[in-house]
Structure 1
Amino acid sequence: MTSYRAADSKREEFRKYLEQSGVVDALTKILVNLYEEPEKPSQALDFLKQHLGAAGPETADVESLRVEVSDLRAKVTTLQDENADLKSRLEKYEPSEEPTE
């Protein structure tokens, strides 16, 4: 009988912890949103993850962003090289004036 009360006490303690930390409220809000959805999603667990913020970005999005970053880095390098080349060519026609004292 005491083990039953100890388990009951632990459950009550855990329930209070979840309430105080806001977990119960967050889950309640998400479940209400799911309930109020006009068209229920086929994957309710994915809905919960998405609304909890645990899902993270889609892997296709991440991959496309990586490709874009790689392309932009290559473009920056090309533009930096072109800029240096244009500066050196300009220097031939318009030598920089050094200040005379």
Structure 2
Amino acid sequence: MAHYHRPPDSKREQFRRYLEKGGVIDSLTSVLVNLYEQQEKPTNALEFVKQHLGAVADSSDTDSLEQELADLRQKCAQLTEENQELRAKLRHYEPEHDNGA
């Protein structure tokens, strides 16, 4: 059996600050509190944590992505409309081709 040696307290403290600075502690705490508050506990707690930890997102990232999505949808609608207008103009200027010719 392998023995675990505790790192010096200064290394542990540095690592704790690193996790806090990166938002890891807050994210883990949020997910674990969510699990604790579940009326019916999931059968697989690890799977619950994996799913909900992935769902924790930075709200500024979410807002930015939602804005980008809205902009792209608007641009797509504009391009679709322009495409339809150009096709109509093209049909107007090009004579119909007979299938038998």
Q: With structure 2 as the length reference, what TM-score do the two structures score?
A: 0.50
Higher RCO (CA < 8 A, seq sep 6+): 2
**Structure in which a larger fraction of residues adopt helix:** 1
Query: Normalising by the residue count of structure 1, what TM-score does the alignment of the two structures yield?
Result: 0.50
